[in-house]
């Protein structure tokens, strides 16, 4: 039998100074421990201990030259967490906050998220503490080249398939793919999020945001409520937020905020036109990491150094980074009558925030379920690459929709509570994601 406290004490002892990893493991352990304790095969095979440890981790030096001719040194990582369900799969993050603990938490989450997608993908994550902010195109290219010179030793289309994440979009994937191709002389599906002319899938750039909205639509529908007409706050202004505001608008809702590290903008009419969406892309491409110019351009209010969670909305979608929404933010949202919170960034809410939502019976979707659309379309990109075919955007979008529906249904099936109108999506996602991985571990022995 597992005791949660003893198990977590062991995880804490083995992973000192990695609070995000411990937070992510605790959240899963809390919700699956009964399932494990009731299943002698899981207990005998020690699945909990085995899933609290990544298969392997690579840490490497990335040397590159900046525009002043100065040599710079960053640290690169790839965490290969679990390949029980398929090749390691997960994004690469370039952000100054990246540490080994961050990437271990992301790779852990990715393992269960990928399991939920129903596609054959294991879990992994990589990245660097490189800060793309203010870097020239040449600097980004030289960094990506150097990063891939080392990473290429550990990845492959049947082994480990990285993609983008914060700070890594189509441009960076292009530079990394180009480097891989030159070194290996192979044109393969070793990365996803590729350009559409060279093996990328349609809808991949939009997929995370689209998927979160499909998931949210099902949450709302399950309550007998309607999505159209809802007021929504979104944080971030990058790729994920961009997909989210476009799909929310198409489905009849109104997104009234986007944000950056500098503050948030409040656009009461909605971030709802092609011009505004294109401007988000331009802001992102400028590499300045600020959202304030949107307020000037569209004549709306900007709130410096504040978070969008103080705006009264029906639904909130954190789309930026882990732990961006804390207990206090959660209390403000609840006081303002929020009904649904859909974590679109990975672990966007602190453990305290999650407790506040739970207590207030706010329906809360965890990132590993709600944001799985991105990696799901990455999985579909792998399928297309294997077939050496590309699907039309309608086909990819339809498959994405079906996958999000299936994830929602498995969350509902495993997340029922005594209160028939309240679904514990965290429990549902964790149990459904965990069971598949754990059963595969049993099938394969050790
Ligand atoms: O967090 C995520 O799921 C991603 N960054 C996407 C990973 C992927 O392999 O597409």
Tens-place pLDDT, residues 285-295: 999 999 999 99
Tens-place pLDDT, residues 6-37: 999 999 999 999 999 999 999 999 999 999 99
82 lines ligand 1 (CB under 6 A): no
Number of domains in the chain: 2
How many Å apart are CA 221 and CA 237, to the nearest integer? 27
Tens-place pLDDT, residues 416-445: 999 998 999 999 999 999 999 999 999 998
163 lines ligand 1 (CB under 6 A): yes
Q: What is the CATH number of the domain that holds 114?
A: 3.40.50.10860
Same domain, 228 and 357: yes
Same domain, 211 and 138: no
Same domain, 239 and 178: no
Same domain, 59 and 181: yes
Which among 370, 387, 410 is the end of a domain? 370
Domain assignment of residue 292, yes or no: yes
125 belongs to the catalytic site: yes
Q: What is the CATH number of the domain that holds 280?
A: 3.40.50.720
165 lines ligand 1 (CB under 6 A): yes
Which among 325, 348, 370 is the end of a domain? 370
Q: How far is the CA of 123 from the centre of ligand 1 (A)?
A: 10
Same domain, 262 and 329: yes
pLDDT band at 128; cut points 50, 70, 90:
very high
Same domain, 241 and 297: yes
pLDDT band at 242; cut points 50, 70, 90:
very high
Which pTM value belongs to this model?
Answer: 0.98
Same domain, 216 and 332: yes
pLDDT band at 446; cut points 50, 70, 90:
confident
350 lines ligand 1 (CB under 6 A): no
How many Å apart are CA 423 and CA 56, to the nearest integer? 35
Which among 346, 370, 394 is the end of a domain? 370
* Mean pLDDT of the residues in the chain: 97
Domain assignment of residue 36, yes or no: no
378 lines ligand 1 (CB under 6 A): yes
305: left (phi over 0), alpha (psi -120 to 50) or beta: left
Q: How far is the CA of 164 from the centre of ligand 1 (A)?
A: 6
- Is residue 208 within 8 Å of residue 374, measured between CB atoms? yes
Domain assignment of residue 320, yes or no: yes
Residue 99's domain spans which residues? Answer: 55-189
**For ligand 1, atom 4, which residue shows the shortest CA distance?**
91
Tens-place pLDDT, residues 162-188: 999 999 999 999 999 999 999 999 999
Q: How far is the CA of 379 from the centre of ligand 1 (A)?
A: 10
Q: How far is the CA of 312 from the centre of ligand 1 (A)?
A: 30
Which has the closest alpha carbon to 58: 176, 189, 153? 153
More confident site: 90 or 420: 90
How many Å apart are CA 9 and CA 62, to the nearest integer? 34
Specify the ligand 1 atom closest to the Cα of 372.
3
3-class secondary-structure state, position 208:
helix
- Is residue 121 within 8 Å of residue 113, measured between CB atoms? no
Domain assignment of residue 440, yes or no: no
DSSP secondary structure string for all residues of 139-174? HHHHHHHHHHHHHTTT-BTTTEEEEEBTTB-HHHHH
Q: Determine which one of 104, 113, 125, 276 is catalytic.
A: 125
Domain assignment of residue 78, yes or no: yes
Residue of 89, 116, 165 to mutate, ligand 1, most atoms within 8 A of C-beta: 165
74 lines ligand 1 (CB under 6 A): no
Q: How far is the CA of 374 from the centre of ligand 1 (A)?
A: 6
């Amino acid at each position: 039998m597992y005791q949660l406290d003893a198990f977590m004490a062991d995880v804490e002892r083995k992973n000192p100074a990695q609070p995000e990893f411990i937070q992510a493991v605790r959240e899963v352990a809390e919700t699956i421990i009964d399932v494990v304790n009731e299943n002698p095969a899981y207990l005998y095979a020690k699945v909990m201990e085995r899933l609290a440890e990544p298969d392997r981790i690579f840490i490497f030096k990335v040397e590159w030259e900046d525009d002043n001719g100065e040599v710079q040194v960053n640290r690169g990582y790839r965490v290969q967490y679990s390949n029980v369900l398929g090749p390691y799969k997960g994004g690469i993050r370039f952000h100054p906050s990246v540490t080994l603990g961050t990437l271990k938490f992301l790779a852990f989450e990715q393992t269960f998220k990928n399991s939920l997608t129903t596609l054959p993908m294991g879990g992994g994550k990589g990245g660097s503490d490189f800060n793309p902010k203010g870097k020239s195109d040449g600097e980004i290219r030289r960094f990506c080249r150097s990063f891939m010179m080392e990473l290429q030793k550990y990845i492959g289309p049947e082994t480990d398939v990285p993609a983008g994440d914060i700070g890594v979009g189509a441009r960076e994937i292009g530079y990394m793919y180009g480097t891989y191709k030159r070194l290996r002389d192979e044109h393969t599906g070793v990365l996803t999020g590729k350009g559409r002319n060279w093996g990328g899938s349609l809808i991949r750039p939009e997929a995370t945001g689209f998927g979160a909205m499909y998931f949210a639509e099902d949450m709302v529908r399950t309550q007998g409520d309607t999505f159209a007409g809802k007021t929504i706050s979104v944080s971030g202004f990058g790729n994920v937020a961009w997909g989210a505001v476009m799909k929310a608008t198409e489905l009849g809702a109104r997104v009234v905020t986007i944000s950056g590290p500098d503050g948030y903008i409040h656009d009461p009419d909605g971030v709802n036109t092609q011009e505004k969406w294109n401007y988000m892309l331009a802001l992102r491409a400028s590499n300045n990491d600020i959202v304030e110019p949107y307020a000037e351009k569209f004549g709306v209010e900007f709130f410096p150094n504040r978070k969008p969670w103080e705006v009264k909305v029906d639904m909130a979608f954190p789309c930026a980074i882990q732990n961006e929404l804390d207990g206090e933010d959660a209390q403000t949202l609840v006081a303002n009558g929020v009904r649904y919170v859909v974590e679109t960034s990975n672990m966007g809410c602190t453990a305290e925030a999650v407790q506040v939502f739970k207590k207030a019976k706010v329906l809360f979707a965890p990132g590993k379920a709600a944001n799985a659309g991105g990696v799901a379309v990455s999985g579909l990109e792998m399928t297309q690459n294997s077939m050496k075919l590309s699907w039309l955007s309608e086909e990819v979008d339809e498959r994405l929709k079906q996958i999000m529906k299936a994830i929602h249904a498995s969350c509902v099936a495993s997340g029922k509570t005594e209160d028939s109108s309240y679904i514990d999506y965290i429990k549902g996602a964790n149990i459904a994601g965990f069971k598949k991985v754990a059963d595969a571990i049993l099938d394969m022995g050790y």
